[in-house]
A and B are shown apart, each in its own frame.
Chain A
Amino acid sequence: MNARTSEGSLAGPAAGGGTRPAQGGHPGGRGGVAVHLIGVVHLYRQSGEDIVGLRGVDLDVEAGEMLALLGPSGMGKTTVLRLIAGVMTASAGIVRVGDVDLRKLRPSDRRRMRAGEIGYIVQGASANVLPFATTLENLWFAQHGARTQGRVPPWQPHDLLSLLDLRELAHVRIAEMPRGVQQLVAVVAGMAAGPRLLLADEPTAQLTTTSAFNVMYLLRRISAELGTTVITVTHDPTMAALLPRVITIRDGRVGVDAIRGEEYAVVDGSGSVQLPPDVLEVLPPNTRVRLRRTGGGVELRNPEWET
Chain B
Amino acid sequence: MTTPGGHQRTAIHRVRVALLVSGLRWRARSSLAMFAVAVFATGAAAFGPIYLHSTDQLVLHNTLAAAAPGNTGLTIRPTNGHGSATSLAAYARTVPEPGGRTRWWGTPILTQSAGFLTVPRVAVKPSAASSAQPLAPLSAAPGPASAADPIQTRARIWTVKIPKLPYRGTRPFVGSLVARTGVCKHLDIVDGTCPKGDGVVVSTRTAQTLGLSLGGTLRVVFIRTTGTVVTLPIVGVYIPGRPFAPYWWDQNFFGFGSFALGATSLTNIDSVFATPAGIHAWAPAGKITVMAQVPYRKGTLTVDAVHQLESDLFAFESSSLRDHGLRVSTPLVALLGRAASVEHAAATVVDIAGLELVLLGILVLYFVASRTAAEREPDVRVAELRGFGSRSTIAVALAEPVTIVAAAVPIGLLGAWLVAGASATTIFGAGIGVPLNPLSVATAIAAGVVGVAAATLGARRSLAGGLSAAAGSSASANRSRWAFLGDAAVVGVAGAAFFELVVTGDSGGGPSGGDPLAAFAPGLLAVALGVIVARALPWLLSTTHRRTAFSRRIVTALATRTVARRREYSTQLVLVALAVALTTFAVSGWVVAARNRDQRAAIGVGAVKVLTVSVRQGTTFLHAVRAADPSGRHAMAVVVERASDGTTLAVDARRLAKIATWPADLGLPAAQAARRLQPAHLAPPVRVTGTAISANIDVAGSAQPPPRLAVDVYDTDTQFSSRVVLGPLRPGAHRYTGRLFADCPGGCRLLDLAVTWSPPTSAASTTAPGPSMTIDVTSLSERTAGGRWTRLHAGLADPHRWRALTGVMHLHQTGAGLAARFTLNRFGTPVTIGPADVPKALPVVVTPLSASTASGHGGPLVVGLDGSTLPGHTVGTVPFLPGVGAHAVLTDLAVAERYLFTRFAGATTQVWLSRTAPSSIIAALRAHGVRVVGTATAAAAIASLSHSGLTLAYLLYLVAAIAAGLLVVAATAFALSSAARRRQWELAALRAVGVDSRALRRAVRAEQGIVLGAGILTGLGAGITAAAVALRSVPEFVQRAPGPPLQLGLPVIDLVVTIGAVVAALAITVFISTSVMVHGASVERLAGGTS
Q: How far apart sit A87 and B386, CA to CA, in the bound complex (Å)?
A: 11
Q: Name the contact of B22 in the complex, choosing from A115, A128, A133, A140 (C-beta under 8 A).
A: A133
On whether A126 and B378 interact (CB within 8 A), knowing A137-B18, A141-B19, A206-B1090, the answer reads yes
Are the CB atoms of B473 and A45 closer together than 8 Å? yes
- Counting from the closest, the 7 A-B pairs by CB-CB distance are A115-B387, A132-B26, A114-B387, A145-B387, A132-B22, A87-B467, A145-B386
Are the CB atoms of A148 and B471 closer together than 8 Å? no
A-chain residues with CB within 8 Å of residue B391 when the two chains form the complex: 148
| A188 interfacial contact with B, CB 8 Å | no
Q: Name the contact of A44 in the complex, choosing from B387, B388, B470 (C-beta under 8 A).
A: B470
Chain A contacts with B in 130-157, Cβ cutoff 8 A: 130-133, 137, 140-142, 144-149, 152, 154, 156
Q: Name the contact of B15 in the complex, choosing from A87, A124, A140, A154 (C-beta under 8 A).
A: A140
| B474 interfacial contact with A, CB 8 Å | yes
Q: Which of A105-113, A245-253, A279-287 contacts B (4 or more CB under 8 A)?
A: A105-113
Chain B contacts with A in 458-517, Cβ cutoff 8 A: 467-468, 470-474
| B25 interfacial contact with A, CB 8 Å | yes
Kindly report which residue of chain B lies nearest to residue A122, judged by CB atoms. B385
Q: How far apart sit A98 and B939, CA to CA, in the bound complex (Å)?
A: 90
**B-facing mask of A238-263, CB < 8 A → 1, else 0?**
00000000000000000000000000
| B311 interfacial contact with A, CB 8 Å | no
Kindly report which residue of chain B lies nearest to residue A46, judged by CB atoms. B471
**A-facing mask of B443-470, CB < 8 A → 1, else 0?**
0000000000000000000000001101
Are the CB atoms of B473 and A145 closer together than 8 Å? no
On whether A120 and B15 interact (CB within 8 A), knowing A45-B472, A175-B26, A206-B1090, the answer reads no
On whether A130 and B23 interact (CB within 8 A), knowing A140-B15, A156-B2, the answer reads yes
| A193 interfacial contact with B, CB 8 Å | yes
The tally of residues in A whose CB lies under 8 Å from a CB in B reads: 46
Provide a sorted-by-A list of 30 A–B residue pairs whose CB atoms are within 8 angstroms: A45-B473, A45-B474, A48-B473, A82-B468, A88-B468, A107-B468, A111-B387, A113-B387, A114-B386, A115-B386, A124-B1090, A127-B381, A128-B382, A128-B385, A130-B379, A131-B378, A132-B22, A133-B18, A133-B19, A137-B15, A144-B386, A144-B388, A145-B387, A146-B387, A148-B388, A148-B391, A149-B389, A152-B2, A154-B1, A193-B386
Kindly report which residue of chain A lies nearest to residue B384, judged by CB atoms. A111
Kindly report which residue of chain A lies nearest to residue B1088, judged by CB atoms. A206
| A116 interfacial contact with B, CB 8 Å | yes
B-chain residues with CB within 8 Å of residue A132 when the two chains form the complex: 22-23, 25-27
Q: How far apart sit A82 and B467, CA to CA, in the bound complex (Å)?
A: 9
B-chain residues with CB within 8 Å of residue A175 when the two chains form the complex: 26
| B189 interfacial contact with A, CB 8 Å | no
Are the CB atoms of B382 and A127 closer together than 8 Å? yes
12 new A-B contacts at CB < 8 Å, known A111-B389, A133-B23, A141-B386: A44-B472, A48-B473, A87-B384, A114-B386, A114-B387, A116-B387, A126-B1090, A127-B382, A128-B385, A133-B18, A137-B19, A146-B387
The tally of residues in B whose CB lies under 8 Å from a CB in A reads: 33
**B-facing mask of A78-110, CB < 8 A → 1, else 0?**
000010000110000000000000000001100
Q: Name the contact of B383 in the complex, choosing from A88, A145, A173 (C-beta under 8 A).
A: A145
A-chain residues with CB within 8 Å of residue B467 when the two chains form the complex: 87, 122
Kindly report which residue of chain A lies nearest to residue B468, judged by CB atoms. A87
Q: How far apart sit A120 and B387, CA to CA, in the bound complex (Å)?
A: 10
Q: How many A-B residue pairs have CB under 8 A?
A: 103
| B1047 interfacial contact with A, CB 8 Å | no
What residues of chain B have their CB less than 8 Å away from a CB belonging to chain A? 1-2, 12, 15, 18-19, 22-23, 25-27, 378-379, 381-392, 467-468, 470-474, 1090
Q: Name the contact of B382 in the complex, choosing from A87, A111, A141, A156 (C-beta under 8 A).
A: A141
Are the CB atoms of B22 and A137 closer together than 8 Å? yes
B-chain residues with CB within 8 Å of residue A115 when the two chains form the complex: 386-388
Are the CB atoms of A145 and B392 closer together than 8 Å? yes
Q: How far apart sit A47 and B391, CA to CA, in the bound complex (Å)?
A: 34
Q: How far apart sit A154 and B2, CA to CA, in the bound complex (Å)?
A: 10
Are the CB atoms of B25 and A108 closer together than 8 Å? no
Kindly report which residue of chain A lies nearest to residue B1090, judged by CB atoms. A124
A-chain residues with CB within 8 Å of residue B26 when the two chains form the complex: 131-132, 175
Q: Name the contact of B1 in the complex, choosing from A112, A124, A137, A152 (C-beta under 8 A).
A: A152
Are the CB atoms of A47 and B473 closer together than 8 Å? yes
Secondary structure call for the B interface: helix
**B-facing mask of A6-44, CB < 8 A → 1, else 0?**
000000000000000000000000000000000000001
| A215 interfacial contact with B, CB 8 Å | no
On whether A130 and B472 interact (CB within 8 A), knowing A115-B387, A137-B18, A145-B388, the answer reads no
Interchain nearest-CB distance for B1090 vs A (Å) = 5
| A3 interfacial contact with B, CB 8 Å | no
Q: How far apart sit A141 and B12, CA to CA, in the bound complex (Å)?
A: 10
B-chain residues with CB within 8 Å of residue A189 when the two chains form the complex: 386
Q: How far apart sit A26 and B472, CA to CA, in the bound complex (Å)?
A: 44
Q: How far apart sit A131 and B23, CA to CA, in the bound complex (Å)?
A: 9
A-chain residues with CB within 8 Å of residue B468 when the two chains form the complex: 82, 87-88, 107
Q: How far apart sit A144 and B382, CA to CA, in the bound complex (Å)?
A: 11
Interchain nearest-CB distance for A139 vs B (Å) = 10
Kindly report which residue of chain A lies nearest to residue B387, judged by CB atoms. A115
Q: Which residue of B15, B378, B387 has the most chain A CB atoms within 10 A of its CB atom?
A: B387
Are the CB atoms of A114 and B22 closer together than 8 Å? no
Are the CB atoms of B382 and A129 closer together than 8 Å? yes
B-chain residues with CB within 8 Å of residue A149 when the two chains form the complex: 387, 389
A-chain residues with CB within 8 Å of residue B472 when the two chains form the complex: 44-45
Are the CB atoms of A114 and B382 closer together than 8 Å? no
B-chain residues with CB within 8 Å of residue A111 when the two chains form the complex: 384, 387-389
Q: How far apart sit A133 and B25, CA to CA, in the bound complex (Å)?
A: 11
B-chain residues with CB within 8 Å of residue A131 when the two chains form the complex: 26, 378
Q: How far apart sit A45 and B381, CA to CA, in the bound complex (Å)?
A: 22
Kindly report which residue of chain A lies nearest to residue B389, judged by CB atoms. A148
Interchain nearest-CB distance for A45 vs B (Å) = 5
Are the CB atoms of B387 and A112 closer together than 8 Å? yes
Q: How far apart sit A116 and B36, CA to CA, in the bound complex (Å)?
A: 40
Q: How far apart sit A124 and B472, CA to CA, in the bound complex (Å)?
A: 23
Kindly report which residue of chain B lies nearest to residue A155, judged by CB atoms. B1
A-chain residues with CB within 8 Å of residue B470 when the two chains form the complex: 44-45, 88
A-chain residues with CB within 8 Å of residue B379 when the two chains form the complex: 130
Are the CB atoms of B382 and A130 closer together than 8 Å? yes
On whether A144 and B392 interact (CB within 8 A), knowing A45-B474, A126-B378, A154-B1, the answer reads yes
B-chain residues with CB within 8 Å of residue A47 when the two chains form the complex: 473
Q: Which residue of B1, B2, B25 has the most chain A CB atoms within 10 A of its CB atom?
A: B1
B-chain residues with CB within 8 Å of residue A192 when the two chains form the complex: 386
Are the CB atoms of A142 and B1090 closer together than 8 Å? no
Kindly report which residue of chain A lies nearest to residue B27, judged by CB atoms. A132
**B-facing mask of A155-184, CB < 8 A → 1, else 0?**
010000000000000000101000000000
Q: How far apart sit A47 and B473, CA to CA, in the bound complex (Å)?
A: 7
Are the CB atoms of B385 and A120 closer together than 8 Å? yes
Kindly report which residue of chain B lies nearest to residue A189, judged by CB atoms. B386
Q: How far apart sit A304 and B133, CA to CA, in the bound complex (Å)?
A: 156
Kindly report which residue of chain A lies nearest to residue B385, judged by CB atoms. A120
A-chain residues with CB within 8 Å of residue B383 when the two chains form the complex: 141, 144-145
A-chain residues with CB within 8 Å of residue B1 when the two chains form the complex: 152, 154
Q: How far apart sit A45 and B474, CA to CA, in the bound complex (Å)?
A: 9
Q: How far apart sit A69 and B2, CA to CA, in the bound complex (Å)?
A: 37
Interchain nearest-CB distance for B1085 vs A (Å) = 14
Q: How far apart sit A152 and B3, CA to CA, in the bound complex (Å)?
A: 9
B-chain residues with CB within 8 Å of residue A46 when the two chains form the complex: 471
Interchain nearest-CB distance for B362 vs A (Å) = 28
